[in-house]
Structures are given as C-alpha cells and as structure tokens.
Amino acid sequence: MAVATMQRPAMMTNKRGDPGNFGPAHAPQTAHVTAEEFSVYYGGNEAVKKVSMAFPAGKVTAIIGPSGCGKSTLLRAINRMNDLIPGCRTGGRLILDAENIYGPRIDVTALRRRVGMVFQKPNPFPKTVFENVAFGPRIHGVRGRGDLASIVEESLKRAALWDEVKDRLHENALGLSGGQQQRLCIARALAVQPELLLMDEPTSALDPIATDRIEDLIGELRGQYTVIIVTHNMQQAARVSDMTAFMYVGELIEFDSTSKLFTSPSEQKTQDYITGRFG
Ligand SMILES: Nc1ncnc2c1ncn2[C@@H]1O[C@H](COP(=O)(O)OP(=O)(O)OP(=O)(O)O)[C@@H](O)[C@H]1O
Ligand SMILES: [Mg+2]
C-alpha cells in the first residue's frame, strides 16, 4: 500500500458549521449508503423498522433519538457488526455504493476495511501507540518499516494526535488520556483507508475538552470521509453534522439537513424530542 494512496479525493467540502443541503427538498448529491425499507430484527423484535434514507458521501450525518430506538443497531448494520449477534437478521436492502451490504457476493472483511468504526469507550489494544495504528495496515499486507511509519504518522496527523504522541510512539497506548485514546482509535480506523467512519457516541466517555477536540476532528474529516455519528447530545449533532436523522422506536421519523431539522422540523414527534418533551 503506497502512502500516496492515503490521499482521498476531496468530495463536497464543507466548512464546519455550514450545514449541508442534502435533503428531500434539494438536488440530490451522491449517496454513499442507502437504506431501502431496511429492517433489523433481534429474534421477533424489529429494532429497525423499514428505514429508507440516503447517507450522503463526504458529509457528516447524525442519528439521534431516545434510548433503545435502534440507532446503534442501524449504525452497526453498515459494517455488519450485528452478524455476531445470534438471532439477528435483516430485511430490505442496505446499499454501499451500488452493492447490497447483505448480498451474497459481499466480502465482509473487505466491507469492514471500507467502513471503519469507533465505539463509545476508547478501546486501544494494550500495545504501543505505533502498533495500534500499524495493526490494520500490517494485516492488510503492508510490511516495509518505512511504509508503516509513514502510514502511522499520516493517520495520527489526520486524527489530530501526532503532535501529542510523536515522542511517545513506543509507549503503551493505555497510558494516554481518554481523549487521546479515542483519537488513537480514530487514527487506527483511518490507517486502513476507510471510505466511511461509523461513530457510536464517540465522546460520551470524554470530558468537555476532549469532546471539543473530537468534534473539531470530525469537522476536519468532513469532505474526505463519509461520517455517520450516533449521539445522545443534540447540541453535538447540531454542531458537527450536515444531516440529521431522528429515530423513534425503530422508525425513521425525520431526516433532513441539520439546520432544518433543529429549527423547523416537519414532524411533531421531532419537535417534541428536540424541545425535550420526552427522551
Ligand atoms: N444484542 C441484542 N440482542 C437483542 N436485542 C438487542 C440487542 N441490541 C439491541 N437490542 C434491542 O434493540 C433495540 C434497539 O437497541 P439499540 O441498541 O439499537 O438502541 P439505541 O438507540 O442505540 O439505544 P441507546 O441510545 O440506549 O444506545 C432495543 O429494543 C434493544 O433492546
Ligand atoms: Mg446505542
């Protein structure tokens, strides 16, 4: 893997704080992931109910909604993390570019390389900072010390962590602060050159300063990656995302540009939720 391939085309760049206009009322932009009447069941429980929506390429989409409404389930479906749960099955279609993620021809390992994931609790490996980031590229066949070092440096720079760890690359990652560990997990995800980054409440275990850093970083990733972030924090959704999806008891209630959804939602349920009447 040549380091030069770390450069991804800049797609639809958008300044932080400038909400996108990919919404039902606007001209369509490229959809990166499209759900078509997509459902996820745990046994007999339909946790995601016939959701249809298009996550735009190069944009940040937030998924909000009360606890248990299916946000994590929908997010995890995009890189088939739900496959590991016994009794979990899907209905409808979930399409990445032109390919059905649940189609018979999909290679799940390749899919997970294209679709990186960052979890609520930072989960670095108990290895050095360097080895955490080099892990994925090594698995994918990068062997040269120089190539690995370049990928590690580039990934840590993209995750806005390089300056803080460049003199600590060979220390154990568990010695980093929580916020640094989360940025390391983002660097680890970026090191295998994903197209899409899934984030499930990535700042809920972090203090406000570390949260700010991650939010800034999401702003910097915009345009280069498609980011889908689940958050309980509506202010965070409003700050970081171009588009917002509001889910309620497994259903997609409303999906629109973040500015529209938070200022003049079309649905009463959305209005009730964003004004704190429930949830
Ligand atoms: N592994 C599982 N096995 C069975 N049911 C599950 C599993 N994970 C989630 N569920 C159920 O699916 C529904 C949606 O859960 P999910 O975790 O997707 O919600 P969420 O919106 O992410 O909630 P939270 O905000 O609390 O994280 C819930 O009814 C939940 O109990
Ligand atoms: Mg969840």
In the structure, which protein residues have their CB atom closer than 6 angstroms to any atom of ligand 1?
Answer: 42, 47, 65, 67-73, 85
Residue 28 confidence (pLDDT): 52
What is the CA(87)–ligand 1 centre distance, in A?
A: 13
Which of the listed residues 39, 69, 117 should we mutate to test ligand 1's pocket, taking the one with most ligand atoms within 8 A of CB? Answer: 69
Domain locations in the chain?
28-122+196-274
Q: What is the pLDDT of residue 21?
A: 39
pLDDT for 1 equals 35
CATH of 28-122+196-274, one of 2.70.170.10, 3.30.413.10, 3.40.50.300, 1.10.3720.10: 3.40.50.300
Distance between CA 239 and CA 271 in Å, rounded? 18
Beta strands at 243-248 and 251-257: parallel, antiparallel or unpaired: antiparallel
Q: Which of 39, 40, 45, 83 to mutate to test the pocket of ligand 1 (most atoms within 8 A of CB)?
A: 45
Q: Which two tokens stand for residue 174?
A: 């568990």
List alpha helices for 118-207, DSSP H: 129-139, 145-158, 162-165, 178-190
Query: Which ligand has its closest atom nearest to the C-alpha of 43?
Result: 1
- List, in sequence order, every residue forming a beta bridge with 118; answer none if it has no partner: 199
185-to-120, 171, 198, 260 alpha-carbon distances in Å: 11, 15, 12, 32
Q: How far apart are CA 259 and CA 243, in angstroms?
A: 8
Angle at 243 between CA 225 and CA 238, to 5 degrees: 105
Joined tokens for residue 125:
């490996």
Cβ atoms of residues 12 and 163 within 8 Å = no
- Which atom of ligand 1 is closest in space to residue 70's alpha carbon? 18
pLDDT 10s per residue in the chain (279 long)?
A: 333 334 333 333 333 333 343 444 444 579 999 999 999 999 999 999 999 999 999 999 999 999 999 999 999 999 999 998 999 999 999 999 999 999 999 999 999 999 999 999 999 999 999 999 999 999 989 999 999 999 999 999 999 999 999 999 999 999 999 999 999 999 999 999 999 999 999 999 888 998 999 999 999 999 999 999 999 999 999 999 999 999 999 999 999 999 999 999 999 999 999 999 887
Minimal-distance CA residue to ligand 1 atom 1: 85
pTM: 0.89
116 - beta bridge partners?
Answer: 197
Cα gap 137→43, rounded to integer Å:
36
Q: How far lies 265's CA from each of 129, 149, 272, 273, 274, in Å?
A: 44, 48, 10, 10, 9
Q: Which residues contact 169 (CB under 8 A, 6 or more apart)?
A: 128, 129, 130, 152
Which residues, in sequence order, are CB contacts of 63 under 8 Å at separation 6+?
A: 71, 74, 75, 228, 229, 230, 231, 244, 245, 247
pLDDT (0 to 100) of residue 277:
87
Report which protein residue has its CA nearest ligand 1's atom 30: 68
Compute φ and ψ for 228, nearest 5 degrees: -125, 120
